[in-house]
Amino acid sequence: MTIDPTVTLKWDGKVTHAKRPKVLIVGGGLGGLALGMILQRSDTPYEIFERATEVQLIGSAISLTGTSASLFKQMGIWEEFRELSRELAALQVVNENLEQEFKISIHEDPARRYGGESRVIDRPTLYNLFLRQIPKEHIHFGKKILSTQQGGNGVIIRCSDRSEYEGDILVGADGAHSAVRQNLYAQLKKDMKLPPTDDVPLPFSTVCLLGQTRPLTTDEFPHLLRETSQFIRVLGENKPYTWATFTTRNTVCYSVIQFLDKKSSKDNDSFRNSEWGPEAADAMCKEVQHFPIASGRKETLTIGDLVNLTPKDCVVKVMLEEKVFDTWYHCRTVLLGDACHKLNPSGGAGATNAIHDAIVLANYIHALQDHPSTADIEDCFRAYQEERKSWVDSSFITSQTFKSMAAKGFKAMLTRTVMKHMPKWLQGEVEKRLLSNRPQVSFLPRDDTEVTMEPVPQPSLHVKRPNNTAQQQQRQQKDHHGAVLDDNARPI
């Protein structure tokens, strides 16, 4: 296929079969897999392209609130997800002596209030749960994207192995260093359509060490005996670090965040990398190995002890860039998850927002008419961004607040003081706001779980695909010259 930007996919009256737009999803992370498993339940054709040559089972813990429960129930995987995870009932903040500074508890009976409780799961397990929902023929590994091209008659992606793929819609779900976004923004900049706010490098002020131990016994880590996940954050004293541990079913996930100054930012700038990998982690492991952690044992364990219990390829160092982009789409290309909004993990909202993106985008794509024009597709993308942007902005602010809580200086101290003395009623109001957006898939049976706190309205839940018969009649209207009109009422 040769891309022609002047073509608008005009209606061809000779075409009588229904043709659903084919979706090319670049990025096989949680966001891309979530979109794929939702589209799998529709009649929309799709394929996923992942640059890694095989599944990379690395990463730390992921916390998902009850705002994702409806999707899991609609997909029929809620009970399996609960078996694979642990309920999160509270965030504990302690000092280096492991003495509790304060505790943020989640409201009692969250399932009754919001339809599902918050849960902690290790990233590899959640990844595999999503992957099992997608037939193997729909996902292609070892597909590093070199270039993308789009126009009125479709999209093309070109890979480093010289393969090419054609489709109607391109979704960039390929992370903070998205190749899809870079190609899209390069073209927009060339056409002088890229906002100055998006024409800057991704800002970062922290780096993070992430790891997950091998399966442990309760003698090795007694906190594994507790029914709920033990999420404990330690505030470093006189050092630019904070670190946290999370218990999963039978492992311990951990993260160490380093707050960068001018010198350390410069030292880490050369580390910018879009790949997960263990190579850059060794030096940081040695730097933080003596940091104490709470485990339930009489003797104090350290981050170094956890590193020693971790397979070498399961500990990594990553950049923590933070930015919400203003440009999420153009023509037939749209961004999802970290590709358009990279949040600091302190707020625990990155995976949740990627999943919510996938739900809303899938709803609007499913509602597209057959043989959609570029204008139809852009309208779909515009509605998607309008529905999601305010929630992402709110999550960004929340993530910055939690990041500030763990940082140094007067602002951090003030944030911790507010958190520590926040009255129960105000904490409840904040919680309701954070858990009020609980999107569902519009084309699957609704989750009708009875709740005491109803979700906010969801525009994409009510969009419907035009009736094909009426659609064809409308497209075949004639103007006073007798010309057949295209989708935008222009003579063909």
Q: Which CATH number is 173's domain given?
A: 3.50.50.60
Q: Are residues 50 and 153 located together in one domain of the fold?
A: yes
Report pLDDT for 162.
95
How many other C-beta atoms are found inside a 10 Å radius of the C-beta of residue 462?
10
In a domain, 124, yes or no: yes
Mean pLDDT within 80-103: 92
Rg (CA), the chain: 24
SS3 49: strand
Least confident of 61-65, 70-74, 366-370: 61-65
Would you state the torsion angle of the CA atoms of residues 205, 401, 107, 253, taken in this order, to the nearest 10 degrees? 10
Choose between 101 and 309: higher pLDDT. 309
pTM of the model: 0.88
Report pLDDT for 347.
63
Last residue of one domain, picked from the residues 321, 344, 375: 321
**pLDDT-derived band at 10, boundaries 50, 70, 90:** very low
Q: Take residue 331 and report the two structure tokens written for it.
A: 């023509």
**pLDDT-derived band at 106, boundaries 50, 70, 90:** confident
Q: Are residues 161 and 128 located together in one domain of the fold?
A: yes
**pLDDT-derived band at 463, boundaries 50, 70, 90:** very high
Mean pLDDT within 6-21: 54
The whole-angstrom separation of Cα 275 and Cα 71 is 29
CA nearest to 210, candidates 243, 173, 176, 177: 243
SS (H, E, C) 440-452: CCCCCCCCCCCCC
Phi, psi dihedrals of residue 289, rounded to the nearest 5°: -60, -25
In a domain, 479, yes or no: no
CA nearest to 158, candidates 170, 171, 149: 149
Report pLDDT for 331.
96
* Domain count for the chain: 2
Mean pLDDT within 213-217: 95
Q: Take residue 410 and report the two structure tokens written for it.
A: 């007067």
Q: Are residues 179 and 196 located together in one domain of the fold?
A: yes
Residues 6+ apart with CB under 8 A from 4: 151, 152, 153
Q: Are residues 342 and 247 located together in one domain of the fold?
A: no
Answer yes or no: is pLDDT of 419 > 80: no
Q: State how far the alpha carbon of 183 is from the alpha carbons of 170, 175, 194, 366, 478, in Å.
A: 12, 14, 12, 26, 40
In a domain, 424, yes or no: no
**pLDDT-derived band at 268, boundaries 50, 70, 90:** low
Report pLDDT for 433.
80
Residue 246 contacts residue 60 (beta carbons within 8 Å): yes
Q: State how far the alpha carbon of 228 is from the alpha carbons of 243, 246, 348, in Å.
A: 20, 10, 17
Answer yes or no: is pLDDT of 29 > 90: yes
Q: Are residues 279 and 255 located together in one domain of the fold?
A: yes
Answer yes or no: is pLDDT of 115 > 60: yes
Q: Take residue 206 and report the two structure tokens written for it.
A: 């922290």
The whole-angstrom separation of Cα 243 and Cα 407 is 11
Q: Are residues 146 and 270 located together in one domain of the fold?
A: no
Mean pLDDT within 222-237: 94
Answer yes or no: is pLDDT of 481 > 50: no
**Angle CA 396–399–405, to nearest 5:** 145
Q: Are residues 316 and 330 located together in one domain of the fold?
A: no
**pLDDT, averaged across the chain:** 85
The secondary structure of 235-255 as a DSSP string is EPSSSSEEEEEEE-SS-EEEE
Report pLDDT for 388.
97
Least confident of 82-86, 109-113, 274-278: 274-278
In a domain, 218, yes or no: yes
The whole-angstrom separation of Cα 177 and Cα 289 is 29
Least confident of 43-47, 114-118, 403-407: 403-407
Mean pLDDT within 53-63: 78
The whole-angstrom separation of Cα 259 and Cα 406 is 9
Q: Are residues 294 and 145 located together in one domain of the fold?
A: no
Least confident of 176-180, 264-268, 343-347: 264-268
In a domain, 470, yes or no: no
Phi, psi dihedrals of residue 198, rounded to the nearest 5°: -100, -5
The whole-angstrom separation of Cα 290 and Cα 472 is 69
Mean pLDDT within 389-407: 80
**pLDDT-derived band at 209, boundaries 50, 70, 90:** very high
Count, residues in the chain? 492
In a domain, 102, yes or no: no
Last residue of one domain, picked from the residues 321, 341, 362: 321
User: Which range of residues forms the domain containing residue 37?
Assistant: 23-86+119-201+323-403+437-462
The whole-angstrom separation of Cα 333 and Cα 344 is 25
Choose between 109 and 48: higher pLDDT. 48
Least confident of 103-112, 248-257, 380-389: 103-112
CA nearest to 246, candidates 352, 337, 357, 125: 125
Facing residues of 212 across strands?
Answer: 253
Residue 345 contacts residue 421 (beta carbons within 8 Å): no
Q: Are residues 228 and 357 located together in one domain of the fold?
A: no
Answer yes or no: is pLDDT of 273 > 60: no
Report pLDDT for 148.
96
Least confident of 249-253, 429-433, 470-474, 477-481: 477-481
Q: Are residues 370 and 265 located together in one domain of the fold?
A: no
Region of 76 (left: φ > 0; alpha: ψ -120 to 50; beta: rest) is left
Q: Are residues 31 and 169 located together in one domain of the fold?
A: yes
Q: Are residues 161 and 275 located together in one domain of the fold?
A: no
Residue 53 contacts residue 375 (beta carbons within 8 Å): no
**pLDDT-derived band at 9, boundaries 50, 70, 90:** very low
CA nearest to 119, candidates 60, 59, 63: 63
Mean pLDDT within 12-40: 84
In a domain, 398, yes or no: yes
**pLDDT-derived band at 385, boundaries 50, 70, 90:** very high
Mean pLDDT within 159-184: 96
In a domain, 416, yes or no: no
**pLDDT-derived band at 154, boundaries 50, 70, 90:** very high
Last residue of one domain, picked from the residues 321, 336, 370: 321
Choose between 363 and 202: higher pLDDT. 363
SS3 45: coil
**Angle CA 317–319–321, to nearest 5:** 160
